Amino acid sequence: MMYSVKELYRPETLTDALAYMAEHPDARPIAGGTDILVSMRKKKPEDVLLVGLQNLQELRGIRRRDDGTVEIGAYNTFTDLANSPIIAESVPMLRTAALAMGGPQIQNAATIGGNVCNGATSADSAPGLFARGAILVLRSAAGERRVPITEFYDGPGRVKRQSGEILVSIELPAYSAAHYGDCYIKFSTRKAMDLALIGCAASCGVAEDGTISDIGIALGVAAPTPIRAVEAENFLKGKRLTADMLEEVGNLALANAKPRDSWRASKAYREQIIRTLARRAVRAAYEMAGGVL
């Protein structure tokens, strides 16, 4: 057959899934399969043990806690994200990202958990989750581990998911500021069925006086993993945004980026896009939070 699968186990509960994963350290969780099946068609990996997560209710749902934390079950498809009123209200940039990813068929299958665990720097959900400082909740038979997403990526296509672990949910800590705004911009050749050449997310908490109290700026495909543009963030914290500052935001965003030359785009061009997207995303997030330039 086209895919070299040794066994597909489809547990009904998370407990069963974790027990199986503990017994089979090589087993790979599969959710929508939109990444793993593509890599298996290229014959790597071969003879895979797959653990299907489709029936695990523990991985479903999107909730907003009283403290404002948004908790997203790992098994939410991009269509689920796009249709969620909680996402639309609390993290609209994730809705933008969900609708920018692949096409409708892929959005119906692919999950946010899979998008993160696949470890691609181009993952459309990653910049938004990085900007918001998402916490990943991983479970294994041994217990639970909470990891900031900024510490989860290990290199291109590699994450620090340990053997036996399943990503259960993703938590977005609340911003305390009076007003919130965010923005995700995906830059790609096509409007659908494409990977980001650069992706940029900005989230912004703005006080009544227009000063920025919380700020997250994150970039996809600007380095081997998604990254936070920390210097640009530090520059903006506690300030009111002005048009003059945007130029600096763009330049500072580059400080943390390591874009590369490839046949898909030159380093110089990627840098130009990073500068431009950072400016535009920050401005859009600030304005959405009621800030006036």
Partner 1 sequence: MDKHFVVGQPVERVDAYDKVTGKATYVGDMKFDHLLQGKILRSPYAHAIVKSIDTSKAKALPGVRAVLTYDDVPHIPFTPCGHPLPFDSPLDSLIFEKEVRYVGDTVAAVAADTKEIAEKAISLIDVEYEELPFLLKDEDILAEGAMEIHKDSKNIIGETFTEYGDVEAGLRDADIVVEDEYRSPIVTHAQIETHISIVDIDNHTGKLTFYVSNQVPTIMRERLAYILGLPRRMVRIVKMTVGGGFGGKQEPVYEFINAVLAQACHCPVMLELTREENLSCTRTRPSHYFKLRTGVTKDGKITTRDLYTIRNNGAYASHGHSVVLNEYGQFEGLYPCPNTRFDGKTIYSNQLIGAAMRAYGMPQYCIANESHIDHIARTLGMDPLDFRLKNLYKQGDKRNFGNYYSDHTCGMPQVLEEGLKRIGYREFRENPPADDGPIKYGIGMALSTYQACVFPFSCEMSGARLMLQDDASATLFINCTEIGQGTDTVMAQIAAETLGVPFEWISVVEGDTDLCPADMGAYASRQTYVTGQAVKKATLQCKEQLLERAGVMLERPAEELDTRMGKVIEKATGKELIDMPKVAENMIYHLTEGGTCGYEAGFIPVENVLEYMGSFAKVAVDTETGKVEVLKLVTCMDCGNLINPQTAMGQLTGGSIMSFGFGMMEQVLIDPKTGRVLNDTLLDYKIPTFADVPDIDAQFIHTYDPAGAYGNKALGEPPNITPAAAIHNAVYDAIGVNIPTNPLTPERVYEAIASAKQGKEA
* Interface contacts to partner 1, rule CB under 8 A: 1-2, 103, 187, 189-195, 263-266, 269, 272-273, 276
- Which residue number, 57 or 105, has a Cβ lying nearer to partner 1? 105
The Cα–Cα gap between 163 and 203 comes to 33
Shortest CB 266 distance to partner 1, Å: 7
Nearest distance from C-beta of residue 26 to partner 1, angstroms? 22
Cis peptide before 104 (omega within 30 of 0): no
Residue with tokens 């969900």: 98
Which residue lies nearer to partner 1 by CB, 209 or 263? 263
Query: Closer to partner 1 at the Cβ: 232 or 265?
Result: 265
Q: Residue 43 or 65: which CB sits closer to partner 1? A: 43
Smallest distance, partner 1 to C-beta of residue 273, A: 6
Please name which of 251, 110, 281 lies closest in space to residue 181, comparing C-alpha atoms.
281
Angstrom CA distances, 175 to 110, 124, 287, stand at 28, 22, 16
- Closest approach of partner 1 to the CB of residue 100, in Å: 10
User: Would you say 174 or 278 has its CB closer to partner 1?
Assistant: 278
Nearer to partner 1, 103 or 156 (CB): 103
The distance of closest approach from Cβ of residue 112 to partner 1 in the complex, given in angstroms and rounded to an integer, is: 21
Task: State both tokens at 156.
Answer: 């291109």
State the minimum distance, in angstroms, from the CB of residue 162 to partner 1. 30
CA distance 235 to 222: 19
CA distance 256 to 79: 32
Residue nearer to partner 1 on the CB measure, 211 or 276: 276
Minimum distance, C-beta of residue 146 to partner 1, in the bound complex (Å): 34
